[in-house]
A and B are shown apart, each in its own frame.
Chain A
Amino acid sequence: MSSHTTTQGLVERERSLSAETAARMDRRQRITQSFGILIPFVVVLAVGLIFAPNFASGSNVTNMLVNAGILAVVGYGMTLVIALRGIDLSVGSTLALAAVVAAVAVNEWGGVVGTLAGIAMACVLGVINGFVITAFRVPAFIATLSTMSVFRGAVLLFTGGAPVMIDDAPFKAFATGTVAGIPIPFIVAVVLGFAMWFLLERMRYGRHAVAAGGNPEAAVDSGIRISTMQMIAYVIAAASAGVAGVLMASQLGTVNGSLGTGLELQVIAIVVLGGTSMAGGRGNIVGTFAAAVLLAMINSGLNLLNVASFYQYVALGALLVFALSLDGVQRQAIRRAMEGKLS
C-alpha cells in the first residue's frame, strides 16, 4: 500500500507542475495571438512614415482607412468560415456581383433599395455555397473555387464586359463621406467588427462555432448541428462580401465585372495574420481588423513609393506563405509541448 501512496504523491506533484507550465504556455499563446500583429504593425508604420512621401497626409490616410475598412468587412466573414474549418474562395466574385447588382438597382430605385438588393444578391450566393458544401458534400475549397468561377462568369455576362456608371449622387457620397474626419467605410468596419466580435465572444452561436471548428465530435455530442453552423457561416461570409461590394460601388462610382479579382488571397492573408488558425477553433476578429489596416498601410506605402503593383503580388504571396508557416509551426510546437508535459 505504501508504494501506492508514493506513486500517488509523485503523480500529484507532476500534475501540479505541468498544470503550471501549461497555464503559462496558455497565457503566452494568447498574448502572441492577440499581439503578434502589433510588431509588424509598428514596423510598417514606422517605415512608411520615414520613407514614403505624403504617408501621413490627409488624403493618403483617408485612402488607407477606406481600403482597410472594405478589406476588414470581407475579412470578418472569412474569419468565421475559417474558424469552422472551411474556406471561401468566391468572395471576390461575390463582391463583384453584389456591387453590379447594387449599381443597377441604385440607378433604378435609389440608394436604399440598391444597397439592400446588393446585399440580398450576396446572401443568395452564400446560400448556394452553403448548399453545395453541406448538401452535396463537396469539399469547401473546390466548391468555392468552382463557384468563384461561376459567379465571375455570371457577373461578366450580366455586364457584358462593360462598366456600369452610377448616377445617384447621395449613394456615391456615402462611401466618400466622413464623420468627424473618419471615412464612413472605416466606421462601418468598426461597427460591423464590434457586432461580429460580440457574436463570436458573447453569444451562444459563437460558442457553438468554436466547438464546431475546434472539436466537431464534441459539438455533435452537445447537440450542435454542424451543417446548420456551416450554412450560416457561408451566408455571413457572402453577406460581408456584399456589404464590401456596395461600399466599393459607392466609393468608385462605377463598377465592372472584374472587381475584386484576387481578393480572396488578401482576405485569407489578413485572417491568418490576424491570428485565426487554419485548423479551426477560435476566430480572432480584432486580429483580422488589425491585419486589414496593416495590409492597407503596406499597399498605400508601396503605391506612394511608386512600386509597381506587381511587387504587391509578390509581397502578398510571400506574406501569406509566411503567416501560414507560422501557423503550422506554432501548432506543432504546442502539440509537442502538450505531448511532453502533460500526463
Chain B
Amino acid sequence: MTSVLDVDDLVQEYPGVRALKGVSLSLDQGEVLGLVGENGAGKSTLIRILGGIETPVEGEVRLRGVVQHFRSSSDSQAAGISVVSQEFRLVPELSVADNIFLGHERTVAGVVRARRTRALAREVIDRLGMDLDPDRSVGSLTVGDRQMVEIARALSRDFDILVMDEPTAALNGAEIERLRGIVAAIAGEGKSVIYVSHHLEEIFSFCSQVAVLRDGALVHAGPTVALDESMLVEHMLGRMPEVFSRHEGTTQSVLETPRLRVTDVALPGFSETFSLSVAPGEVVGLAGLVGSGRDDLTRGLFGDRRILSGTVEVDGEVVRLRDPIAAIAAGVFMLSEDRKSEGILPHLDVTENAMMSRTSRGRGFFERLVPARAREAMLFQGLRRTMSIRVPDGRQLIGNLSGGNQQKVLLGRAVLSGCRVLLLNEPTRGVDVGAKVEIYQLIRELADDGVAVVVSSSDAPELAMIADRCVVYFAGRQVAELRDANINEDAIVSAAVGQVGA
C-alpha cells in the first residue's frame, strides 16, 4: 500500500542553524500520526514545509508517490493538505461563516451565496459539537472559540491530509474530548491526520502512531501502544554535553528581604494570580509551555502588560510598573525573546544600542542632553572585554553581528541600566552553542553581583544548568517548584506538559 504522504531526507537550513537534518517519515491512509518534540526540535519547520510556506534545501515531499513542489500555501491546499495553524489566520471583522470559507467561498458569478455559506458553516460547526452563531463576527469570540473556528476552517476544505498544530492550546476538557471524536471520525473516513501537540495525553488518546523529533532529526517512529509517557519524554530529551559546571545552590538566608516580591498579581487573560519571590543573587527559572503565563508574567513585571491587581515590591518598596520607563526607574529590566522586533535597534551601532537604557542618575544638566562619546566608547570596550563580544569596533552596526553577539550587546544594555532585577525571556534563543555557555556565565556573574535574575525559558536543559530554583507553570497556574538536584530536564518537561509528580 503506497503511503499517502512520504517525506524523504528533508533538510532545512536557516542562517546559522540546521532546523531539519534529513528527516524521513511516511503517513498511511487513515492514520493519525502524533508529532512531538521540544521547542526548536523542528516540528514547526516540518509543518511549514508541508504547508507550502517554505521550500526545503534538500529532500522530497511525495503525495501518493508523486513528488510535490509547493510554492505557496495555495499549492499545498490544492494538493489536499489542510493545515490548522498555531497562529490564528482569522479576520476579526468577518463573520464565523465567512472566515471558514475565506478563499474558497461558495459563489455564483462572484456573488457570495450567503444562505448556503451559513448552512454549510453550521454543518461544520455542528460536527465540532459547538454551539456558535455563524453570523457572529470572529472578533467578538473568545480565544477558545476562535481556535474552534480555525479548526472548522481546515475541515471545510477538501483534504486528504489534515495537519493540526497545537489545536488544543486554548480548549477545555470537553472540547478536547469532542475533538478526539472528530479526529477519529476523519481517520475513519480514510483521511490522514498529523497531530502536533505538547500535551502528551492527547498524543496517546488521539494517535495510532507517534514520531519524535529532537534537534532536527527523527529519533523515534512507531505505534503509540508500544510506549508510555515517560519513554516518550525520554526520547524527546536526549542528552547534551555538560560544558558548564552547575553552580551548587547558594545558601539563602530565609530572613533576607527578597529583591523581588510578587504577591497575588492578576494578569489579563488568566484566572489565577501569580506570586513569586526572588532573593538577591538568586537565579529563578520560569518554565512552562507558551501561553502558560510565564512570558505574560515577565512582561507584566516590566510594565509591558497591564497588572490588574496585586503588589510588586523591589527591595521591599512597592513599585507601580506602569510602563517600561517606570520599571527601569524602579530597577527592573527585561530582555524580550524576540531580539529582532523588540530588542535591537538595527540602524544604530553597537555602542548606542548598549547605551540605550543607561541610567541617568547622577548626571549634570549638560550631561543629560549630550552623551559623552569618549566615556561611552570606553564603557563599550569594557563590555566587549568582559562579555567577549566579537565585533571589530564600537561603531559597527548591530545588524551585522551574529545572534549570540547581539544578545550580549543587549545584555550589556541591561547591565548599564543599573537594574537590580533582571528578567530574561529565552536568553539564548537563536544563539550558537559557544555563545550560549558564555551567556550562562554572564548570567551567573550578574547574580553574584547581587542582581535578582528571572529566566523564562522553554529550553529545559538551560534552566537545569543555570537556575537555583525553577518554577513551572501550566495553563496559568504554578504547578511545581523545583530546587537543587530536582531541577533536571525530566522534571521540568514533565511538569510543563501537565504531568505533575512524575
Which A residues fall within an 8 A CB radius of B? 4-5, 7-8, 10-12, 14-15, 18-19, 22-23, 25-26, 202-208, 210-211, 214-215, 217-224, 281-282, 338-340, 342-343
- Neighbour of A218 across the interface among B90, B139, B306, CB < 8 A: B90
B142 touches A215 (CB 8 A): no
User: Which residue of the partner chain, among B90, B102, B141, contacts A22 with CB atoms under 8 Å?
Assistant: B141
A211 touches B141 (CB 8 A): no
Q: A202-B112, A214-B94 are in contact. List 19 more A-B contacts (CB 8 A).
A: A18-B142, A26-B136, A205-B110, A207-B105, A208-B103, A210-B93, A211-B91, A211-B94, A211-B102, A215-B92, A218-B99, A220-B73, A221-B89, A222-B102, A339-B268, A340-B306, A343-B144, A343-B269, A343-B270
CB distance from B337 to the nearest CB of A (A): 20
B268 contacts A221, C-beta separation under 8 Å = no
Given contacts A11-B172, A339-B306, contact A217 B271 (CB under 8 A): no
B173 within 8 A of A: yes
Which single member of B111, B141, B174 contacts A8 (CB below 8 Å)? Answer: B174
Question: Which residues from chain A contact B103 at a C-beta distance below 8 Å?
Answer: 208, 221-224
State whether the Cβ of B143 lies closer than 8 Å to any Cβ in chain A. Answer: yes
CB pairs A–B below 8 angstroms (8 shown): A8-B174, A19-B141, A22-B140, A204-B107, A207-B94, A217-B89, A218-B88, A222-B102
Contacts of A220 in B (CB 8 A): 73
- B112's partner among A10, A204, A219 (CB-CB below 8 A) is A204
Does B29 make an interface contact (CB < 8 A)? no
Q: How far is the CA of A282 from the CA of B138 in the complex (A)?
A: 13
A308 and B299 CA atoms in complex are apart in Å by 54
Is the CB–CB distance between B140 and A23 below 8 Å? yes
Q: Which residue of B92, B111, B143 contacts A202 across the interface (Cβ within 8 Å)?
A: B111
Interface hits, B89-124 → A, CB 8 Å: 89-94, 98-99, 102-105, 107, 110-112, 114
CB neighbours of A14 from chain B (8 A): 271
B77 proximal to A (CB < 8 A):
yes
| B168 CB within 8 Å of chain A | no
Q: Are A204 and B110 in contact (CB under 8 A)?
A: yes
Is A26's CB under 8 angstroms from B269's CB?
A: no
> In the complex the two chains form, is B73's CB within 8 Å of A15's CB?
no
CB-CB under 8 A for A26 and B271, given A215-B92, A218-B90, A340-B308: no
Given contacts A8-B173, A14-B271, A202-B114, contact A210 B91 (CB under 8 A): yes
Partner of A203 from the list B111, B143, B144 (CB cut-off 8 Å) is B111
Residue on A nearest B170 in the bound complex, by CB: A343
A15 to B131: give the CA distance in the assembly, Å: 13
Residues on the A chain within 8 Å of B110, using CB:
203-205
B224 interface hit (Cβ, 8 Å): no
Q: Is B145 an interface residue (CB 8 A)?
A: yes
Q: How many residues of B contact A (CB 8 A)?
A: 45
Residues of B within 8 A of A339 (CB): 268-269, 306
**Are A23 and B136 in contact (CB-based, < 8 A)?**
yes
Smallest CB gap from B75: residue in A? A223
B68 to chain A, nearest CB (A): 17
The chain A residue sitting closest to B105, CB to CB, is: A204
Interface string of B48-74 (1 = CB under 8 A from A): 000000000000000000000000111
Contact with A along B118-154 (1 / 0, CB 8 A): 0000000000000000001101111111000000000
Closest Cβ–Cβ distance, residue B502 to chain A (whole Å):
16
B residues in contact with A338, CB < 8 Å: 139
Instruction: List chain B positions with a Cβ less than 8 A from chain A.
Output: 72-74, 77, 85, 87-94, 98-99, 102-105, 107, 110-112, 114, 136-137, 139-145, 170, 172-174, 268-271, 306, 308, 475, 477
Which A-chain residue is minimally distant from B133 (CB atoms)?
A23
The reply to whether B73 and A19 form a contact with Cβ atoms under 8 Å apart is no
Tell me the complex Cα distance, A210–B137, Å. Answer: 12
Most buried by B among A5, A26, A221, A342: A221
CB-based contact A215/B271 at 8 Å: no
Most buried by B among A14, A18, A203, A207: A207
Q: How far is the CB of A214 from chain B (nearest CB, A)?
A: 4
Q: Is the CB of A214 within 8 A of B142?
A: no
Determine the main DSSP class of B at the interface with A. Answer: loop
Chain A contacts for B475, CB-based, 8 A: 7
A26 to B95, CA, bound (A): 11
Q: Number of residue pairs across A and B with beta carbons under 8 Å?
A: 115
The listed residue with most B CB atoms (<10 A of its CB), out of A210, A220, A343, is A343
Q: Flag if B111 contacts A19 (CB, 8 Å).
A: no
Q: Are A207 and B93 in contact (CB under 8 A)?
A: no
In whole angstroms, what is the CA distance A340 to B267 when docked? 8
Is the pair A11, B271 in contact by a Cβ cutoff of 8 Å? yes
Please give, as numbers and ranges, the residues of chain A lying within 8 Å of B172 by CB-CB distance: 8, 11-12, 15
Q: Is the CB of A207 within 8 A of B98?
A: yes
Contacts of A211 in B (CB 8 A): 91, 94, 102
Please tell me if the beta carbons of B91 and A214 are within 8 angstroms of each other in the complex: yes
Query: Which listed residue (B94, B107, B143) contacts A210, Cβ 8 A?
Result: B94
A-B pairs, top 7 by smallest CB distance, nearest first, are A222-B103, A26-B140, A223-B74, A218-B89, A22-B140, A281-B93, A221-B89
Please state if B94 and A342 are interface contacts (CB–CB under 8 Å): no
Query: Which residue of B is nearest A15, CB measured?
Result: B142
- Residues on B with C-beta less than 8 A from A23 are 136, 140
Chain B residues contacting A26 (CB-CB under 8 Å) are 136-137, 139-140
Q: In the complex, A211→B103 CA distance in Å? A: 10
Docked complex Cα distance between A208 and B112 (Å): 11
**A19 lies within 8 A of B142 (CB):** yes
| A280: nearest chain-B partner, CB-CB | B93
- Chain B residues within 8 Å of A340, by CB: 268, 306, 308
CA distance in complex: A14, B270 (Å)? 10
- B93: min CB distance to chain A, Å: 4
Contacts of A19 in B (CB 8 A): 140-142, 145
What's the Cα separation between A41 and B269 when bound, in Å?
A: 40
Among A19, A204, A220, find the residue whose CB has the most chain B CB atoms closer than 10 A.
A204
Which residues from A are CB-within-8-Å of B111? 202-204
A219 with B91: CB separation less than 8 A:
yes
**Contact in complex: B142, A343 (CB < 8 Å):** yes
Q: Please give, as numbers and ranges, the residues of chain B lying within 8 Å of A5 by CB-CB distance.
A: 173
Chain A residue at minimal CB-CB distance from B308: A340
Tell me, in angstroms, the Cα distance from A342 to B94 when the chains sit together.
Answer: 18
Distance (whole angstroms) from the CB of B280 to the closest CB of chain A: 33
Pair A4/B173 contact, Cβ less than 8 Å? yes
Instruction: Give, as a whole number of angstroms, the nearest-CB distance from B273 to chain A.
Output: 13
A214 adjacent to B92 (CB under 8 Å): yes
By a CB distance below 8 angstroms, the chain B residues around A11 are 172, 271
A204 to B137, CA, bound (A): 17
How many angstroms from the CA of A222 to the CA of B90 in the assembled complex?
10
CA distance A62 to B85 in the complex (A): 56
Select the residue from A11, A218, A219 with max chain B CB neighbours within 10 A: A218
Instruction: Give Cα A223–Cα B174 distance, bound, in whole angstroms.
Output: 33
In the complex formed, the residue of B with least CB distance to A198 is: B111
**Complex formed: what's the CA distance from A204 to B92 in Å?**
17
- The smallest beta-carbon distance between A211 and chain B, in angstroms, is 5
List chain A residues, Cβ under 8 A from B99: 218
Q: Which residues of the other chain, A, contact B105 by a CB distance below 8 angstroms?
A: 204, 207
